[in-house]
Structure formats: C-alpha cells, structure tokens
Amino acid sequence: MHHPVLQFVHRGEIISLRNVPPTRSLLQVLREDLACTDSKEGCNEGDCGACTVVLGERQHDHIHYSAINSCIRLAHSIHGMALWTAQDLAAADGTPHPVQQALSECHASQCGFCTPGIAMSLFGLYQKQAGQNTPLERTQAAEVLTGNLCRCTGYRPILDAAQRMGELPRVMLDETKVLQQLELLTLTAQALEADLSYNSPDTLNALLAARSAQPKAQLVAGCTDVGLWVNKQHRHFEQVIDLTRVAELRGIDDLGEQLQLGAAVRLTDAFAALEHERPQLHSFFSRFAAQPVRNSGTLGGNIANGSPIGDAMPLLIALHARVVLSSVRGQRELALEDFYTGYRQNVLAADEVLAWIKVPKPAPDELLRAYKISKRFDDDISAVCLCLNVQLQNGYVTQASIGVGGVAATPMRASQTEAQLLGQAWNQTTVTQASDCLRQEFSPISDMRASSQYRSQVLGNLLQRFWRESQGETLTQLADVSMLGDWP
C-alpha cells in the first residue's frame, strides 16, 4: 500500500508532497514539513483556534474561503485546494494586510500564540466580505471568533479590529491566478488505485465501489471527529476513504416538500439551508461548536458519528428527518431515530455509506424551538439538548415531535411525551402533565456536565418554557424557567 501525492496551492506555488501518511494532520505538515510555524499547536482538538488556517476551494468561477482548524484536519483532505496561513497575509514588501494593520491599530495583538489563529479567522471573514458595501456587524465578527480563545487582551479590541479592517483600503487577492492553479490540479489529478492509503473518489459509484472493496477503511468527511481520534486516542488507520469530493453528496436539492442534503455538505452550508426555511434556528446553529469546526465538519459525518450529545440529531429527529443509505447493492431509507442501535452504533452495513438526509419543510402551523443547555454559551458541549416541534389546530395538538440529546446512549425521540400531548388542548394543564412525563421518560447519567437529576428537571422546564414562549412571553420573562436546578 502506498500514499498518494498531496498537492495544494500555497504562496503562489503548487506544493507537491509525497509519502504523507493518511492520518498525518495538516498542522503537522505545515509545522514539520513546510516550516510554517506561525500556525500553533494549542489544544490539538479544534477548540482553541491557535492552529486556524484558511482554505480556498474552487466553486464555479470563484473561490470559497473557509477558516478551519488545521490540528484535526487530515492533510490529504486539502488535496486540490489553496491554503493560507498567517505568514501569507503581508505583501511581498512587508506591507501589512488590513487584518494585521487593524489588529495593531486597535491594540488587539496577543502574546503571539493565539494571534495568528485570530488573524486567520478574520482573514476568512475579510475575504467573504469582499465586494459587499455593508459595514461588518459586531455580532457577525463575534460569531466568527467563537473558535478562537483569548486569555490576554480580551475580545473587545479584537472585535474593534474586525470592524476596523473593513474601513482600511481594500487589498485583493489574485484570484484569477489561484483559480488557474486549482484548475491545473484538477487536470493533473491522479487516477484512484486500489491500494492507496487515502482514497478520495469524486463520484458516488466510485465511492460505493471503494467502500465495497475496502469495508474496513475509515470513512472521513471533514475529519472533525477522526482528527480527535488520531490526536487524543492515538488511533491509526491503514486506509481512509474521504467522501467530501463526491459530487452527488455535496449538493442541497429542493424536492418540493422537503430538502435533500448530501452527506458531504459542510455543516455551515447545511445549517444555512435549514435556517433559510426556519430562521428561528439561527441562535441554535451559531452555538453548534465554532465556525472553523462547522466549516470542516459535515452533516452526514455528524449523524454517522452518532454522539448522544450531538446537537444536530435531536433537531433533525424533531423535524422528521430521514436518511438514505447507499451501497453497490442499492439504497434504503429510514427515519433518523431508527438509524441508531446503541452507543455510537448504527444500522450501516459494512459496504454502506450514509448518502443523503431528507428534511421536510415547515408546516404552516408549525411551532418549533431548539434549546441547548451548556455551562458555556459558546463552543461547548450540551448537557441537554431539547428540540420541540408541535402543530396546533383550533387550540389542540394535532402533531408533536420531540428530539432529545444528552439523556441516553443515543439521540432519542420522546415518544411517550409526544403521545401525552397528541390530541390535547394546548394549555398549562396539558403542558404540566407532559413536562412530568418528559422528566420521567429518560434515565440520564450524571457526569462532568450535569447530574441526572438536573438533566431530568431541565427537560420538563424547557417544555414549560416552550409553552410560555408560544403564549408570547419573552426571554427575559423566562429567565426563571429553563435553568431551574443546580449544577452538580
């Protein structure tokens, strides 16, 4: 078995690297092979942002920019892309980039360890803002920087710098040259071979054939989980199959009454599509990990990983999502909650892949809320995630769908509570009874995030909050409801 050649565009040149093992991280390649030591290794698990770099991927006639964590990104996954690190921002004559100048003018420079990652998150935002005449909103900058920890200067001057960089004279990248280089990489792409350690098929048929031939190979789709396994659990994989280049799995299709999202669609894009249909989900999506993680991770990968505290699954369960599994033998479709059989276990056969996620569009009378309870507001794992979807007619519940995370070995559907609500008047008495049912339906464990008693109590409290919000109460008025209970 041999390693494929890794090629990408960096500093105006096409970089070609040989003998890169399949589990070598992008950060290792940058620091140890290319001497790009401006990218720092901090947490090595995608939380601190010190390793942030920006990737450029060709999309039709332009470049799509994404700030990502290089510490958990497998190096081979950036084959055919362009890469920028903090060392690439200044002009050839040393003139600082507007991002760098703004950080300096606003006294937002840190100790030097975190600043490069902060600069790259802002650079990704700067490139996305190109051509827009509207000023950058401070809240937008804050969302972009949730994946960059700062323990020196504080975020106020960094946010000042984010707004200041847009006021400085514009500096444009030579995108035409980069696009030409990316096109050249496409034309010189190597044919897939059976004994490659890292296989990146670009069609569904090729993916299914590779999966059938290599059922023990590790599937990756953004590497935000697998990168952790490699870094923290020291796991090694002889063969990796990367599905993020499969054209059929990268699209978002409107099927009329539902959206079909490819398993390789980035979380950032998947959430944007779902938020377009249901704008009230913006806050919930913005608290899903941090933007660099969402820029790498995929919806299909998050589902297939099957973490009981993954936030996407409770929401998708509440939305009646279904998944399509595919193999060389054909396809099958099932409800998302039926996909899981145990802790991080699912019904996928050895030769199958998760191909698509189908999400129904909102009903006219839909009441939907998604709640995440965690110790930190940003970039934290849920203690409890509760998503409620109720439809009413003449004051009675005609349909109820409730997805729950953090209370069992898998994401769950609160079927008993749904039955308690169905056909009942939507009033305080019904909700109180349903809240008691919801508290008793699961037997959550106690861990570092919350006690079992806390989780059960909060589940019922959130259902009460949901009802009160449906009656027009505001978040300030509800401050005493959802967080009732003590942390362990």
Q: Tell me the per-residue pLDDT of 164-191, one tens digit each, with 9 for 90 and over.
A: 999 999 999 999 999 999 999 887 655 5
What H or E segment, with its residue span, contains residue 10? strand 6-10
| Average confidence (pLDDT) over 340-350 | 96
Residue 427's closest CA among 459, 369, 468? 468
Q: Determine the Cα–Cα distance for residues 334 and 282; give it in Å rounded to an integer.
A: 27
Instruction: Give 483: exposed, middle or buried? Use CB within 10 Å, 0-12, 13-18, 19+.
Output: middle
Do residues 344 and 305 make contact, with C-beta atoms less than 8 angstroms apart?
yes
In sequence order, what are the residues at sequence separation of 6 or more whose Cβ sits closer than 8 angstroms to the Cβ of residue 265?
Answer: 249, 250, 251, 252, 273, 298, 299, 300
pLDDT band at 109 (very low <50, low <70, confident <90, very high): confident
What H or E segment, with its residue span, contains residue 276? helix 267-277
- pLDDT value at 37 more than 70: yes
In sequence order, what are the residues at sequence separation of 6 or more whose Cβ sits closer than 8 angstroms to the Cβ of residue 464?
Answer: 431, 432, 435, 481
Instruction: Tell me phi and psi for residue 264, to 5 degrees.
Output: -95, 5
Burial 367-401 (b: 16+ CB within 10 A, else e): bbbbbbbbeeeebbbbbbbbbbbbbbeeeebebbb
| Cα angle: 18, vertex 27, 2; to 5 degrees | 25
| Average confidence (pLDDT) over 442-448 | 93
Instruction: Give 356: exposed, middle or buried? Use CB within 10 Å, 0-12, 13-18, 19+.
Output: buried
What are the CA-CA distances from residue 302 to residues 62, 63, 183, 283, 344 (Å)? 28, 25, 30, 19, 11
Q: Give the number of C-alpha atoms closer than 13 A to the C-alpha of residue 338, restricted to the C-beta side.
A: 10
What is residue 189's predicted lDDT score, i.e. its pLDDT? Answer: 58
> 143-152, 202-211, 225-234, 288-297: lowest mean pLDDT where?
143-152
Do residues 21 and 197 make contact, with C-beta atoms less than 8 angstroms apart?
yes
* Mode of pairing for the β-strands spanning 240-242 and 218-220: parallel
Per-residue pLDDT tens digits for 244-289 = 999 999 999 999 999 999 999 999 999 999 999 999 999 999 999 9
What is residue 475's predicted lDDT score, i.e. its pLDDT? Answer: 63
Per DSSP, 374 falls in state: -
- pLDDT value at 192 more than 60: no
What H or E segment, with its residue span, contains residue 459? helix 452-470
Q: Give me the sign of the Cα torsion angle 286, 292, 296, 301.
A: negative
> 108-112, 347-351, 415-419, 469-473: lowest mean pLDDT where?
108-112
What is residue 479's predicted lDDT score, i.e. its pLDDT? Answer: 47
What is residue 229's predicted lDDT score, i.e. its pLDDT? Answer: 95
Do residues 212 and 219 make contact, with C-beta atoms less than 8 angstroms apart?
no
Give the residue range(s) of CATH 3.30.390.50 domains in the chain: 366-478
Instruction: Give 479: exposed, middle or buried? Use CB within 10 Å, 0-12, 13-18, 19+.
Output: exposed
* Mode of pairing for the β-strands spanning 412-413 and 396-405: antiparallel
Q: Determine the Cα–Cα distance for residues 94 and 342; give it in Å rounded to an integer.
A: 56
pLDDT band at 488 (very low <50, low <70, confident <90, very high): very low
- pLDDT value at 426 more than 90: yes
* Mode of pairing for the β-strands spanning 13-17 and 6-10: antiparallel
Per-residue pLDDT tens digits for 197-208 = 999 999 999 999
Q: Determine the Cα–Cα distance for residues 40 and 42; give it in Å rounded to an integer.
A: 6
Per-residue pLDDT tens digits for 371-400 = 999 998 888 899 999 999 999 999 999 999
Compute the mean pLDDT over every residue in the chain, rounded to the nearest whole number: 93
The CATH code for residues 198-360 is: 3.30.465.10
Residue 389's closest CA among 410, 408, 363, 412? 363
Per DSSP, 371 falls in state: E
In CATH terms, 98-165 corresponds, of 3.40.109.10, 3.90.105.10, 3.40.50.1820, 1.10.150.120, to 1.10.150.120
Q: Determine the Cα–Cα distance for residues 87 and 4; give it in Å rounded to an integer.
A: 27
- pLDDT value at 478 more than 70: no
Distance of alpha carbon 155 from its chain centroid, rounded? Answer: 23
The CATH code for residues 366-478 is: 3.30.390.50
pLDDT band at 193 (very low <50, low <70, confident <90, very high): low
Q: 10 Å Cβ neighbour count for 250?
A: 18
pLDDT band at 482 (very low <50, low <70, confident <90, very high): very low
